[in-house]
Amino acid sequence: MNTNVASKIQNVLDNWPSKGLVTQAWLTQRGVSYSLANQYVKSGWLERLSPGVFQRPNDELTWQAALSGLQTQLGLAIHVGGLTALTNDGFAHYARVDVEPVHLFGPKGATLPKWFKAAWSNEFVHSQTNFLPPHLGVRKATYEGFQLQSSAPERAILELLYLSPKYVSLLEACDIMDGLRNLRPELMTALLAGCGSYKVRRLFAFMARKLDLPIVQELNLDGLDYGSGVRAIVQNGVYDARSQLMLPRELMEREN
């Protein structure tokens, strides 16, 4: 390897994101062409994960590092949300014996690369949905040292309700929501106004009123469109007339 090529690879390795991945665009910015990247792969300096995506050999790539690279270098519009975001912010309520899957959200059409899904196929729930406005209530948060796009609590609780009761029971969702005493009215209003799920709107309004959250006084819940007709969230549930939902008895009987 000549001096120029060796100098370039040393510069690349010196600036490599810790235990992360890089794209061809990142390499090109540092003077590494497609052909030179291929040479580095053949020489064992780089390992190709997929066309245009590389890691350092022997690096143990974590999902946090991989997602960081996908978000920052490829602009992937997928963020951490729901229960995972709430847990990261300290709002988890129940201790779990089993490993909880990581919840990712993105608009319809935004897909994870095949190599990412192959590496962590059983560790993720990826919801492709447009039920909330893109980017609203999404900000950076730290996950194992990596800054990831992640839902703020106002958005995360709506994502949690969207996936309830399939992934989280409604009683647990209510218990988590009970801890959200500092929701920001302006952001919550915008999210509820842009929410495309009548189920989520109904559940949020029901729980917020039941828990007497401070934000209820700041929101015009009566002014939201909740759709029409009775909706059964669970089988053999108890009917709540105001929300027109069939809900679990234990939730209806929960004491505040």
Q: What is the C-alpha separation between 28 and 48, in angstroms, rounded?
A: 15
Q: What is the C-alpha separation between 79 and 105, in angstroms, rounded?
A: 5
CB-based contacts of 27-34 (< 8 A; 24+ apart in sequence): 27/54, 32/8
- Edge to edge, what strands does the sheet with 53-55 contain? 21-23, 53-55, 47-50
Q: What does the pLDDT read at residue 92? A: 84
Q: What does the pLDDT read at residue 96? A: 64
Q: What does the pLDDT read at residue 41? A: 94
Q: What does the pLDDT read at residue 60? A: 87
Task: Give the residue among 63, 41, 62, 39 at the shortest CA–CA distance from 50.
Answer: 41
Mean pLDDT for each 10-residue chunk of the chain (256 residues)?
71 86 92 93 92 90 93 94 96 73 96 90 92 97 96 98 96 96 97 98 98 96 95 94 96 88
Residue that the structure tokens 């992934």 belong to: 167
Q: What does the pLDDT read at residue 176? A: 96
Beta bridge partners of 146: 143
Q: What does the pLDDT read at residue 5? A: 67
Task: Give the residue among 29, 25, 24, 23 at the shortest CA–CA distance from 11.
Answer: 29
CB-based contacts of 228-232 (< 8 A; 24+ apart in sequence): 231/198, 231/199, 231/202
Considering the domain architecture, whether residues 34 and 125 belong to the same structural domain is answered as no
Considering the domain architecture, whether residues 17 and 89 belong to the same structural domain is answered as no
Considering the domain architecture, whether residues 74 and 200 belong to the same structural domain is answered as yes
Task: Give the residue among 175, 196, 187, 184 at the shortest CA–CA distance from 137.
Answer: 187
Considering the domain architecture, whether residues 175 and 197 belong to the same structural domain is answered as yes
Outline where DSSP puts E strands in 173-243.
231-232, 238-240
Considering the domain architecture, whether residues 100 and 176 belong to the same structural domain is answered as yes
Considering the domain architecture, whether residues 99 and 169 belong to the same structural domain is answered as yes
248 upstream amide cis, omega within 30 of 0: no
Calculate the CA 80 to chain-centre distance. Answer: 2
Q: What is the C-alpha separation between 170 and 36, in angstroms, rounded?
A: 54
Task: Give the residue among 125, 10, 25 at the shortest CA–CA distance from 69.
Answer: 25
Residue that the structure tokens 């974590």 belong to: 62
Tokens found for residue 161: 């309700």
Range of the domain at 47: 3-55
Number of domains in the chain: 2
Q: What does the pLDDT read at residue 137? A: 98
Beta bridge partners of 231: 245
Considering the domain architecture, whether residues 87 and 194 belong to the same structural domain is answered as yes
Considering the domain architecture, whether residues 120 and 90 belong to the same structural domain is answered as yes
Considering the domain architecture, whether residues 18 and 107 belong to the same structural domain is answered as no
4 exposed, middle or buried (CB, 10 Å; 0-12, 13-18, 19+)? exposed
DSSP string, 99-137: PPPEEEEE-TT----HHHHHHTTTSEEEEE--SS-TTTT
Beta bridge partners of 23: 53
